[in-house]
Structure 1
Amino acid sequence: MGRRLLGNAWPWVMALLVCAPMLASGYVLSYDMVFVPRLDITRPDVWGLGSATPRAVPSDAVVAVANLVVPGWLLQKVVLVGSLVAAGAGAMRMLGRFGLGAQLAGTTWFVWNPYVAERLVIGHWPLLVAYAALPWLVVACLEVREGGTPRWWRWVVPLAATALSPASGVIGAVLAVSVCGWRRCGRVALVAVVVNLPWIVAGFAHAGAGRSDPAGVAVFALQPEAGLGRLGAALSLGGIWNVDVVPDSRDLVTATLFCLVLWTVMAVGAVTAWRGGPAREPVRALVPAAVIALAIALVGAYVPAVLEWVVEVVPGGGLLRDGARYLALLAPLQAVLVAAGVAALAGRVRDGFARTSVLVVAVLLPIAVMPDLAWGAAGRLEAVSYPAEWDEARAAIADSDAEGDLVSLPFGAFRAPAWNDGRVVLDPAGRYFPRETVVDDELVVSGTVVGGEDARAAAVREALASDDPAATLRAEGIGLVVVALDAFGADDLDELQAELEPLFTGEEIAVYEVPSDAR
């Protein structure tokens, strides 16, 4: 009874260690993670029908529907805590064929690793939801592989959870096919296609069809970590392109030593699986997905010319630009190998106290060497409140009769507002206001500009640089302009603001109508 209670409680313990400061009142806004009080369900871009590449399809639609009954602040907390709890509980279920100590060790690594830390800080919450679904998908698909017939919801629900974004949808489909095996994957593969249809249809309905600027290959290439190069970063589930979100502990020698220990334990687990035993079938099922993960993650770093051609020419090729995302496919295999290796090593220790000590160290070591995932990634993730002025601006926009879309200025993809404690976040205006909003989709990384794919955003950028920006914006179908007065570059908009009609003006944000006679 006590062992079962410990197994059920451990995922909650880890989730709360990470998410405790995020449970305060407000929203956690970090890079791509933007939740708002209510995402308007009538906006075309929520359903992938806007001009921008539908990267947030169907995740934005799911949030908009959920917002009809659940406020944004609560929904975000449920998503973040729930993802980590579900990931841990799923890993415990996936590793149920091993003893409790080995289960806990493999589960700890599955939850407490650089992939989870980096994707959490950069705000890829749909990817974390998909990551949480992977072990549950493995459990169901292993049963299919072995000739069983699990209840449909046991594999359909995890597959659907992976389909909240294009990249995560690919991850779920690849893992399902890998684990089921080619002979028995037909039904699962068909369902994988069906649950991913929202973003597939929306993607091919756009002119770019998922193609991207090849300059993004170098920018998004997997980066070295822990002093072990790019391959070492990949094999330790790290290497995200944005080095600002990497835990500081990954630069310490302890991270290097831990990786060497981790790989040794995995090697022992691999040998154990090779010789037979409980790990053999899961390892065989998971190896193809892990190989695919490493190939996608490393191609941009080692053979960039190939990936540049793919993202520029092949429809949907842009999905491979951030290859490190696909390391999620490696995580289930590593969790199994860790559990198998720990079980084998502990089994060689005869003394009961020594065996328990080995298991405790194996369980707690990932946390000890990367403590800065705890407490909201060492304070990087804390809840804040939107300024009251944002609600007033939203009301002004909702009451406006001006025809046309909204544009957010200064025209840049990211903000670092003081009310968010200076943390970088994707411009919240893109989701906050009840009107289709044109935002900049160009990305500047270390001086390199990665071109966007939204023709509408490009037209607005040109309009702002024209001799008569107000008239050109009106000609482009822009009826309203919202200006973040505290953002970098706002001081350069005085001339444009003078030509617009103010609807609401606060200390941090202002809303203007583009005059209908601005032609």
Structure 2
Amino acid sequence: MGRRRLGRAWPWAMALLICAPMLVGGYVLSYDMVFVPRLDVGRADVWGLGSATPRAVPSDAVVAVLNLIVPGWLLQKAVLFGSLLLAGVGAMRLLERFGLGAQLAGATWFVWNPYVAERLVIGHWPLLVAYAALPWLVVACLQVRAGERMRWWRLVVPLAATALSPASGMIGAVLAVSVCGRRWGRGALLALVLNLPWIVAGFAHSASGRSDAAGVAAFALQAEAGLGRLGAALSLGGIWNADVVPSSRGLATATVFCLLLWAVMAVGAVAAWRRPRRRTMVVALVPAAAVGLAIALLGTLAPDLLGWLVENVPGAGLLRDGARYLALLAPLQAVLVAAGVEALTRRLRERVARWSVLAVAVLLPIAVMPDLAWGAGGRLEAVSYPAEWEQARAAIADSDVAGDLLVLPFSAFRAPAWNGGRVVLDPAGRYFPRETVVNDDLVVSGEVIAGENPRARAAARALDSPDPAAALRAEGIGLVLVEEDAYGADDLDSLRNSLTPVFTGDDLTVYAVP
């Protein structure tokens, strides 16, 4: 009974250890992770009907609908904590045929790894939701593969959880097809149906769905842990943004741990191959893992090919950040870790030695990467939006000026003092109750990666014209929001002189375009 309680409690303990400082009141704003008090359900871009490439379809729509009954701060906490908790519980469920110690070791690696740490800090919460669904999806697909009868929702729910964004939808579809094996048709059909929201929205934006080829080098998988790019990929790391990589990944302990991890996985592969049921599980997971590794390394091994694809094939930009697809390796690695730990401990006859090895296997991932704990080492903390944001929202809602809202300075990311100076995608793009035009160009290592939104490009040209106010009005811009604490706000005096103030605050100013 005590062992069962430990198995049930461990996922809760890991989720709390990571999320504790994020569970207080307020919003965690980090890079792409932007939650607002209420995302308006009537905005066209929420449903993928705006001018921007529908990268947040249907995740924004899901958030907007849930915001009708759940405030944004509570929804975000449920998403973050729930994702990590369900990832751990799902891994325990996937590994239930192993002994408890091996289960705990495999589940720990599934939750406590560089992929989770890096995607958490960079704010890719739909990927984390999809990641949490992967072990549950594997369990359901293994039943389909074996021809067992099962309740339909056991397959539909995890597949739907992976379909919150285009990249995560592809991850879920590949895993389902791989694990279902010869009975792949059911998984493929369900994946197609559940991913239709972003597929249809993508076809509607096919003309603007091509990406800047310069992004291939910028988003290519990077070396980590002193083991090169392949080593980074095989240890579930290598994200393109070095600023979100845990500092511990640069230590010698990370290198030693990765080598030890791979050795345990190799032992696990041999041990699993000798047992038919486990061999079936490994065989089912290998194709998906191979696809994930290939996509992750594509920008490194064939940059010219990938550059041509993203520049000429609508939607191929989904392959630029190939490290996202390393999630497809995680279920296989969890199984191999569990199999390896079980095989090694069985060779130990003394109980003390066996439990000591199990304790090390469970706790070592946490020990070598402690900076995932406590909100990624304090990098993720909840903050409150300044009161002026709600006041500006009310002013914009009450304004009878026709046209969309333009946010200035015209740059994609902010580092506001009220967010502790942490970088975040400008929250103004989601905060206000009106179609909002923001810059979608990205600056990576000093290089500008051109955005894909034709409306944003038109606004940029209007701002550079001799009469920007008239050009903005011609582009359908009715209101302009200036974030006074953002870099470049002091350079807008000439434009301000031709606009009419609607709301004036210390941090935000709203103007009408005459």
Which bracket does the TM-score occupy, shorter chain normalised?
over 0.9
Alignment partner, residue 172 of structure 1:
172
1:316 deviation in Å?
1.8
Q: In structure 1, what is the equivalent of residue 41 of structure 2?
A: 41
Q: 5 Å matches for 1:461-500?
A: 461-500=460-499
Aligned 8 A contact 1:210 1:319 in 2: no
Residue range with higher mean Cα deviation, 330-339 or 439-448:
439-448
In 2, the alpha carbon distance for the partners of 1:208 and 1:379 equals 42
1:87-486 map, 5 Å: 87-181=87-181, 183-208=182-207, 210-486=209-485
2-structure distance, mates of 1:376, 1:282? 34
Aligned partner of residue 330 in structure 1, secondary structure: helix
Give distance in 1, aligned partners of 2:263 and 2:255: 13
How far apart are the structure 2 equivalents of 1:346 and 1:313?
53
Aligned residues of 1:283 and 1:333 also touching (Cα < 8 A): yes
> What is the rounded CA distance, in whole Å, between the counterparts of 2:470 and 2:397 in structure 1?
23
Once the two structures are TM-superposed, the CA of residue 394 in structure 1 deviates from its matched residue by: 0.1
Instruction: Give the secondary structure class of the aligned counterpart of 2:384.
Output: coil
CA distance in 1, matches of 2:269, 2:210: 39
- SS of the aligned residue for 2:492 comes to helix
CA distance in 2, matches of 1:291, 1:415: 37
Deviation at 1:208, TM superposition (A): 3.4
Shift of 1:209: 5.6
**Matches of 1:73 and 1:95, distance apart in 2:** 33
Identical residues among aligned pairs (%): 78
Structure 2, gaps ≥5 residues long: none
Residue-pair matches, total: 514
The secondary structure found in structure 2 opposite 1:483 is strand
TM-score computed with the length of structure 2 as normaliser = 0.99
8 Å contact from structure 1 (residues 279, 337) kept in 2: no
- Residue 279 of structure 1: SS of its match in structure 2? helix
Whether the 8 Å contact between 1:203 and 1:209 is mirrored in structure 2 is no
1:208 and 1:453 in contact (8 A); partners too: no
- Give the whole-Å Cα distance in 1 for the aligned partners of 2:167 and 2:207: 17
Per-residue displacement from partner, 1:372-418 (whole Å, max 9, x unpaired)? Answer: 00000001000000000000000000000010000110000100000
Per-residue CA deviation, residues 430-477 of structure 1 (Å, 9 max, x unaligned), is: 000000100101001112111111100000001111111111000000
Show CA shifts across 1:157-210 (max 9, x none). Answer: 0000000000000000000000001x2011121110000000000011014363
Tell me the secondary structure at the aligned position of residue 208 of structure 1.
helix
Contact 1:239–1:324 under 8 Å retained in 2: yes
Cα offsets for 1:23-72 (capped at 9, x unmatched) = 11100000000000000000000000000000000000000000000000
Distance 1:220 1:435 in 2: 31
* Unaligned segments of structure 1, at least 5 residues: none
- What one-letter code is carried by the residue in structure 1 that aligns with 2:272? A
2:16 maps to a residue whose letter is L
Conserved 8 A contact 2:208-2:452: no
**RMSD (CA atoms):** 0.7
Quick one: distance in 1 between partners of 2:135 and 2:299?
Answer: 27
Cα separation, 2, equivalents of 1:490 and 1:282: 56
Q: What whole-Å deviation, never above 9, does each CA across 1:262-283 have from its counterpart, x for those lacking one?
A: 0000000011122225421110
TM-score by length of 1: 0.98
C-alpha separation in 1, matches of 2:44 and 2:314: 23
Residue aligning to 2:11: 11
Q: Distance in 1 between matches of 2:108 and 2:496?
A: 53
Code of the aligned partner of 1:475: A
What amino acid is the match of 1:224? A
